[in-house]
Structure 1
Amino acid sequence: MNKAQENNIQHNASVEESAELLALNDQMKRRIEERNQLAEEGVEPYPYGFDITAYSKQIIDRYQDDKPETVSVAGRIMTIRKMGKASFFHILDKEGKIQIYIKRDEVGQETYRVFKLLDIGDIVGIKGYTFRTKTGEISIHAEEFQLLSKSLRPIPIAKEKEVDGQKVTYDAFSDKEMRYRQRYVDLIVNPEVKQTFVKRSAIISSMRNFFTERGYLEVETPILQPVYGGAAARPFTTHHNALNMELYLRIANELYLKRLIVGGFDGVFEFAKDFRNEGIDRFHNPEFTQVELYVAYKDYYWMMNLVEELIYTTNLSINNSDSTCFLGHDINLKPPYRRLTIADTILEYCSVDIAGKSETELRNMAKDLGLSLDPKISSGKIIDEIFGEFVEPKLIQPTFITDYPTEMSPLAKKHRSKDGLVERFELIVGGKELCNSFSELNDPVIQRERLEAQAKLRQRGDDEAMVVDEDFLRALEYGMPPCAGLGIGVDRLVMLLTGQDSIRDVIFFPHMKPE
């Protein structure tokens, strides 16, 4: 393509965009004029309420031809066929769509005149009775009609036309970025999106019930923290004016939940908004949801069994199946799941043995595998890079990866039988980490040593290394019982169980670059 062709394409795109903007402005101008006309004539464009007695799906499901039902419904106009003395339109409510028939002689000439001024997107209330049209569609015959909200901006409605015998959809609200930025529009015109978020709510409810039925207490811990910890991540920083001190949005709630175990609770969990100052991609959003669980007197072996049961039970309640479809893979979530050490999986997929290797040896291995590494990162980060690049994407079926090097897990207890390792697992499903768990370190002397080692890594330039939290160490010095801890990425679990391929598809309002 030469420069002239490229300029011509850009010009045509600019002309089309200007034409669309002009048309939008004309439509909005007309709608504003209609709104003002209604107000001048004493019709309130934005009344205060409306009594609803039924919803679209309920009405359709229980309809009987010989038993018409009187109902009061409300919703947004999605299609409209205005005729002389009678018209048809469809409204969208929280359950779906239903057709309305309105006749001038029944609602009155003044009400019908108001109706004729309305547009697709306006929200209305109808009282009437159910019937079936000649074409067989269950509908509502309006006896009363009221405007509830005048829409000033037209909503994008997908249209179909036939081209060479094929139905072609156009003007659909399908641009991903626009859908994420204007989720309110996305929810109106793409009903399947709403179902994803209905399932998200059901997933969280199922998990909450799973924990509470076992006697674990749901708690709340601080989002604003004077010392951030519990994960390897960069925080968001803010300032408290009254106290004149720096605070951090939490990157995890682990250290506060462990304080509660010290205080005498045997099982606590929290669904938490966490914040990490990191990049954005299909699996990462700076603000995300995770649930963390801590249970006293248990270890990571016990926790693996609990996680298997939790994931399986949650999927069964949502999808009524042993499996889920994710990224084109049929993933079986029925226990038991495969269990492998991180060293064994790297040996299996990369043909290199990381066990007992020095930082220099690991760096050379990574170089031989074709990885370009930051010279400041440590042995643990090198292993993490190798695993993340060459192993993790290949683990599609649920797999517990266990027994990590100590440096990779400063809050985990040393392995009871393997030197240099800790009792930790990650569950990998669909090529991505879903959860992380430890037999929790409860020796305050060793925990201090580990956090001080992390501080040295920060001095080397690792800005994701942990910081020393003196109050947490003080809590451990009072004594924490043996404990198993777990963190599950709720957004990723929702992706898995609803078959969505981006974290932005399961978060109502994902973070975006400025428009």
Structure 2
Amino acid sequence: MLVRLDKRAKLLERGGQAYPVGVGRTHTLEEIRAKYPELEADSTTGEIVGVTGRVVFVRNTGKLCFATLQSGAGTRLQVMLSLANVGEEPLADWKALVDLGDHVFVKGEVISSRRGELSIMADSWAMASKALRPLPVLHADLSEEMRVRQRYVDLIVRDTAREQVKTRSAIVKAIRDTLHGEDYIELETPILQLIHGGAAARPFRTHLNAFDQPMTLRIAIELYLKRAVVGGMDKVFEVGRIFRNEGVDSTHSPEFTMLEAYEAYGDQFSMAKIMQRIILAAADAVGSRSIETERGTINLDGEWPWLPVYQGLSEGVGQEITPETTAEQLRAIAVAHDVKIDQAWDAEKLVVELFGEIVEPTLIQPTFVCDYPPSAQPLARPHRDNPNLIEAWDLIIDGKETGTAFSELVDPVIQRERLTQQSLAAAAGDPEAMQLDEDFLRALEYGAPPMGGLGLGVDRLVMLFTGVGIREAILFPLMKPE
């Protein structure tokens, strides 16, 4: 860095600029490559262009210097600087002042080298931005720590990193395009909230000085979108950031992106169809409905099966489990299968935990896990055929929860009872329990139509299609300070 700072100073001393406001670029590297895809070796075009790029290779040899420029998209193009074309002083300055990582401007003729390499034969050059830190060696692998902590470097040196960003963008676009095609309206709802709700999670807490009011960052998008449905917006969705003050590991981040969508007169079955269309559209945008993972090949085509929780757990442990199975019996099963539990959990909580630990990791192909006990999802309506269950499912792919949906609870009386139970749990010290949201209940009391709702973890979907962990699926993940 000291050497590069010295070069910066010398550039300024000679009347040059290390960081000009602009340069005379006429073409991008992509445009040059597209215009001359097969230029004959050792030929000229007569076209004078001005190009820019980051120097990723340089070879200074006597009267002729070579460099490779790279665009932000990763396209590369060779430039050549000869004594005869640029002159003695500009060539000497190039050799003395340009380092790997610098952004430079080169003006000259588009030619093909003797070896057939598409190139720019420079007439002049200028510094566009002096890099004060050296780049890592391009052919050496970066550590995962450096890839996620210094993502800007990762994007410079690794083509795969840039492709992952493009893949994520294509997935998000496919989500939006699918829902817009279904006549959904995209909304924006508050991130800063008075009361946290819509999920069971520990919130981030803050304080609004203007109102002298405690606030939280949202842990779900749900409750405000439902208010919009009450107001007559029959199909709504939002793709937005969610914040949960919980653990950090290969599949969880405190800050992540969710899709939530709600439809008047929908239910868990109609939302399953929409979810499948969304994921297939994302797969098509990425390029394949077949995904290779460490556990095998996932095929997204065809019908996705439904698996009731109690049935799946019964098959997983080799004995019948029903809503009447006691907590004591379930604790014994947990011990037998080496599942860590809290002795205070009731039977419904134990069923959900045992299913998640024993059965869920075995579900590789897309599976709708359904018919949960009521406490699993306080915002889902009672099952139309069995009062001991609720109408809700989780979509499991490759052993991980990817999305969820409910036939939404719209009865304000039952919803008040459930939220009251949640608020009592919160008062008793449960940091993940929901709070009683009087304004949300008031909205339901104006009459909410029957509705279905879904949630999809966008980062989980990116992980599925790219095979990376959540720290790489998120462009700039939250990291512990150095």
2:52–2:104: 8 Å Cα contact kept in structure 1? yes
- The aligned amino acid for 1:78 is V
1:393–1:431: 8 Å Cα contact kept in structure 2? yes
Instruction: Tell me which of 177, 184, 193 is aligned to 2:145.
Output: 177
Q: CA deviation at 1:106?
A: 1.2
User: Where does the alignment leave 5 or more consecutive residues of structure 2 unmatched?
Assistant: none
2:229–2:235: 8 Å Cα contact kept in structure 1? yes
- The aligned amino acid for 1:281 is D
Please tell me whether residue 78 in structure 1 is matched to residue 56 in structure 2: yes
Instruction: Tell me which of 469, 475, 481 is aligned to 1:508.
Output: 475
Q: CA-to-partner distance for each residue in 1:415-470, whole Å, 9 max, x for gaps?
A: 00022101101110111000010000000000011111222333454321221111
Query: What's the secondary structure of 1:292's corresponding residue?
Result: strand
2:39–2:116: 8 Å Cα contact kept in structure 1? no
- The aligned amino acid for 2:53 is G
Q: CA-to-partner distance for each residue in 1:487-513, whole Å, 9 max, x for gaps?
A: 00000101112222x001111111222
Aligned pairs for 1:368-447 within 5 A: 368-447=336-415
In structure 2, C-alpha distance between the alignment counterparts of 1:344 and 1:206, rounded to whole Å: 34
In structure 2, C-alpha distance between the alignment counterparts of 1:180 and 1:327, rounded to whole Å: 22
> Per the alignment, do residues 299 and 280 of structure 1 end up closer, same or farther by CA in structure 2, a change over 3 Å counting?
same
2:39–2:118: 8 Å Cα contact kept in structure 1? no
Alignment-derived partner of residue 115 in structure 1: 94
Query: What's the secondary structure of 1:421's corresponding residue?
Result: coil
Alignment-derived partner of residue 108 in structure 2: 128
Q: CA deviation at 1:50?
A: 2.5
1:448–1:473: 8 Å Cα contact kept in structure 2? yes
In structure 2, C-alpha distance between the alignment counterparts of 1:58 and 1:346, rounded to whole Å: 58
Alignment-derived partner of residue 36 in structure 1: 9
Alignment-derived partner of residue 169 in structure 2: 201
Alignment-derived partner of residue 98 in structure 1: 77
Q: CA-to-partner distance for each residue in 1:162-191, whole Å, 9 max, x for gaps?
A: xxxxxxxxxx25211122111111111112
Alignment-derived partner of residue 265 in structure 2: 297
> Per the alignment, do residues 469 and 43 of structure 1 end up closer, same or farther by CA in structure 2, a change over 3 Å counting?
same
For normalisation by structure 1, the TM-score amounts to 0.89
In structure 2, C-alpha distance between the alignment counterparts of 1:448 and 1:496, rounded to whole Å: 37
Please tell me whether residue 452 in structure 1 is matched to residue 420 in structure 2: yes
- The aligned amino acid for 1:456 is L
Alignment-derived partner of residue 483 in structure 1: 451
1:455–1:465: 8 Å Cα contact kept in structure 2? yes
- The aligned amino acid for 2:39 is D
Q: CA deviation at 1:246?
A: 0.5
Please tell me whether residue 283 in structure 1 is matched to residue 251 in structure 2: yes
> Per the alignment, do residues 147 and 219 of structure 1 end up closer, same or farther by CA in structure 2, a change over 3 Å counting?
same
Please tell me whether residue 147 in structure 1 is matched to residue 121 in structure 2: no
In structure 2, C-alpha distance between the alignment counterparts of 1:231 and 1:54, rounded to whole Å: 50
Query: What's the secondary structure of 1:270's corresponding residue?
Result: strand
1:300–1:484: 8 Å Cα contact kept in structure 2? yes
- The aligned amino acid for 2:184 is Y
Q: CA deviation at 1:360?
A: 3.1
- The aligned amino acid for 1:155 is L
RMSD of Structure 2 on Structure 1 (CA): 1.6
Alignment-derived partner of residue 159 in structure 2: 191
Query: What's the secondary structure of 1:229's corresponding residue?
Result: coil
Alignment-derived partner of residue 23 in structure 2: 50
In structure 2, C-alpha distance between the alignment counterparts of 1:245 and 1:460, rounded to whole Å: 22
Q: CA deviation at 1:128?
A: 2.2
In structure 2, C-alpha distance between the alignment counterparts of 1:112 and 1:334, rounded to whole Å: 59
Query: What's the secondary structure of 2:372's corresponding residue?
Result: strand
In structure 2, C-alpha distance between the alignment counterparts of 1:496 and 1:478, rounded to whole Å: 41
Query: What's the secondary structure of 1:494's corresponding residue?
Result: helix
In structure 2, C-alpha distance between the alignment counterparts of 1:99 and 1:328, rounded to whole Å: 43
Please tell me whether residue 346 in structure 1 is matched to residue 313 in structure 2: yes
1:379–1:407: 8 Å Cα contact kept in structure 2? no
> Per the alignment, do residues 327 and 127 of structure 1 end up closer, same or farther by CA in structure 2, a change over 3 Å counting?
farther
- The aligned amino acid for 2:76 is K
- The aligned amino acid for 1:105 is A
Query: What's the secondary structure of 1:404's corresponding residue?
Result: coil
Q: CA deviation at 1:137?
A: 1.9
Please tell me whether residue 65 in structure 1 is matched to residue 39 in structure 2: yes
In structure 1, C-alpha distance between the alignment counterparts of 2:300 and 2:255, rounded to whole Å: 27
1:339–1:401: 8 Å Cα contact kept in structure 2? yes
Q: CA deviation at 1:51?
A: 4.2
In structure 1, C-alpha distance between the alignment counterparts of 2:53 and 2:348, rounded to whole Å: 56
> Per the alignment, do residues 181 and 453 of structure 1 end up closer, same or farther by CA in structure 2, a change over 3 Å counting?
same
In structure 1, C-alpha distance between the alignment counterparts of 2:243 and 2:314, rounded to whole Å: 34
Query: What's the secondary structure of 1:361's corresponding residue?
Result: helix
In structure 2, C-alpha distance between the alignment counterparts of 1:148 and 1:314, rounded to whole Å: 38
- The aligned amino acid for 2:109 is Y
Q: CA-to-partner distance for each residue in 1:224-252, whole Å, 9 max, x for gaps?
A: 00000001100000011111110000000
Q: CA-to-partner distance for each residue in 1:180-219, whole Å, 9 max, x for gaps?
A: 1111111111121011001111111111111112111100
Alignment-derived partner of residue 331 in structure 1: 298
- The aligned amino acid for 2:32 is I
Which is further off, 449-458 or 433-442? Answer: 449-458
In structure 2, C-alpha distance between the alignment counterparts of 1:378 and 1:455, rounded to whole Å: 17
In structure 2, C-alpha distance between the alignment counterparts of 1:389 and 1:52, rounded to whole Å: 57
Q: CA deviation at 1:257?
A: 0.4
Please tell me whether residue 240 in structure 1 is matched to residue 208 in structure 2: yes
In structure 2, C-alpha distance between the alignment counterparts of 1:426 and 1:205, rounded to whole Å: 23
Q: CA deviation at 1:61?
A: 3.9
- The aligned amino acid for 2:10 is Q
Q: CA-to-partner distance for each residue in 1:356-412, whole Å, 9 max, x for gaps?
A: 123333333323322231223333332222122111111111111011111111100
> Per the alignment, do residues 358 and 351 of structure 1 end up closer, same or farther by CA in structure 2, a change over 3 Å counting?
same
Aligned pairs for 1:316-327 within 5 A: 316-319=284-287, 321-327=288-294
In structure 2, C-alpha distance between the alignment counterparts of 1:350 and 1:72, rounded to whole Å: 69
Q: CA deviation at 1:291?
A: 0.7
- The aligned amino acid for 1:142 is A
2:403–2:454: 8 Å Cα contact kept in structure 1? yes
Query: What's the secondary structure of 1:82's corresponding residue?
Result: strand
Which is further off, 442-451 or 329-338? Answer: 329-338
Query: What's the secondary structure of 1:355's corresponding residue?
Result: coil
- The aligned amino acid for 1:418 is N
Q: CA-to-partner distance for each residue in 1:236-280, whole Å, 9 max, x for gaps?
A: 000111111100000001001000000110101001100001111
Query: What's the secondary structure of 2:342's corresponding residue?
Result: coil
Alignment-derived partner of residue 314 in structure 1: 282
In structure 1, C-alpha distance between the alignment counterparts of 2:326 and 2:427, rounded to whole Å: 20
In structure 2, C-alpha distance between the alignment counterparts of 1:52 and 1:345, rounded to whole Å: 62
Q: Share of identical aligned residues, percent?
A: 45
Please tell me whether residue 269 in structure 1 is matched to residue 231 in structure 2: no
Which is further off, 386-395 or 131-140? Answer: 131-140
1:377–1:462: 8 Å Cα contact kept in structure 2? no
Q: CA-to-partner distance for each residue in 1:41-69, whole Å, 9 max, x for gaps?
A: 10111101124343334433441426735
